[in-house]
A and B are shown apart, each in its own frame.
Chain A
Amino acid sequence: MWKFSLRRILIMIPQLFALSLLIFILAKMMPGDALSGKIDPNIDPARIEELREEMGWNDPWHEQYARWVGGVVKGDFGQSFRFKMPVTEIIGQRIVNSFWLSLVTLILTYLIAIPLGITSGRFNDTLRDHLITGYSYIGFATPLFIFALVMLWVFGFQLQWFPTSGSVAPGLEPGTFDYVASKLYHLLLPAFSMALIQTYSTIQYLRNEIVDTKQRDFIITARAKGASETRVYNNHILRNSLLPIAAFFGYEITLLIGGSIFVENIFGYPGMGQLLVESITLRDYSVVTATTLLFGVASVLGALLSDIILSIIDPRIRIK
Chain B
Amino acid sequence: MGFLKVEDLKVHFPIKGGFFGRTLGYVKAVDGVSFNLEKGKTYGLVGESGSGKSTTGRAIIGLNHITDGKIEFEDKEITKIHRAKAEIRKDIQMIFQDPYSSLNPKKRVLDIVAEPLRNFERLSRKEERFKVQELLELVGLSPESILKYPHEFSGGQRQRIGIARAVALKPKLIIADEPVSALDVSVQAQVLNFMKEIQRELDLTYLFISHDLGVIRHMCDHIGIMYKGRFVEEGTANEIFNEPQHIYTKRLIAAIPDIDPNKREELKRFRAEVSTEYEQAYNDYFDEEGLAYGLKPISETHLVALPEKG
Least CB distance, B16 to chain A, in whole angstroms? 9
Residue numbers in A under 8 Å from B17 (CB-CB) = 320
A84 within 8 A of B: no
Interface of A is mostly: helix
Closest chain A residue to B16 by CB distance? Answer: A320
Contact with A along B16-31 (1 / 0, CB 8 A): 0101100000000000
Least CB distance, A2 to chain B, in whole angstroms? 11
Residue numbers in B under 8 Å from A6 (CB-CB) = 19
Interface of B is mostly: loop
- Which A1-52 residues have a C-beta within 8 angstroms of B? 3, 6-7
For the complex, give the distance between the alpha carbons of A138 and B17 in Å: 46
For the complex, give the distance between the alpha carbons of A3 and B17 in Å: 11
- Which A299-320 residues have a C-beta within 8 angstroms of B? 320
Closest chain A residue to B19 by CB distance? Answer: A7
- Which B10-51 residues have a C-beta within 8 angstroms of A? 17, 19-20
Residue numbers in A under 8 Å from B20 (CB-CB) = 7
For the complex, give the distance between the alpha carbons of A7 and B22 in Å: 13
Closest chain A residue to B21 by CB distance? Answer: A7
Residue numbers in B under 8 Å from A3 (CB-CB) = 19
For the complex, give the distance between the alpha carbons of A7 and B21 in Å: 10
Closest chain B residue to A3 by CB distance? Answer: B19
Residue numbers in B under 8 Å from A7 (CB-CB) = 19-20
Residue numbers in B under 8 Å from A320 (CB-CB) = 17
For the complex, give the distance between the alpha carbons of A320 and B24 in Å: 13
Least CB distance, B99 to chain A, in whole angstroms? 22
Residue numbers in A under 8 Å from B19 (CB-CB) = 3, 6-7
For the complex, give the distance between the alpha carbons of A3 and B20 in Å: 10
Least CB distance, B222 to chain A, in whole angstroms? 39
For the complex, give the distance between the alpha carbons of A320 and B17 in Å: 8
For the complex, give the distance between the alpha carbons of A63 and B214 in Å: 75
Least CB distance, B14 to chain A, in whole angstroms? 15
For the complex, give the distance between the alpha carbons of A24 and B20 in Å: 29
Least CB distance, A78 to chain B, in whole angstroms? 35
For the complex, give the distance between the alpha carbons of A258 and B155 in Å: 50
For the complex, give the distance between the alpha carbons of A6 and B19 in Å: 9
Closest chain A residue to B17 by CB distance? Answer: A320
Least CB distance, B260 to chain A, in whole angstroms? 33
Contact with A along B162-173 (1 / 0, CB 8 A): 000000000000
5 A-B contact pairs sorted by A residue (CB < 8 Å): A3-B19, A6-B19, A7-B19, A7-B20, A320-B17
Q: Which 5 A-B pairs have the closest CB atoms?
A: A7-B19, A3-B19, A320-B17, A7-B20, A6-B19
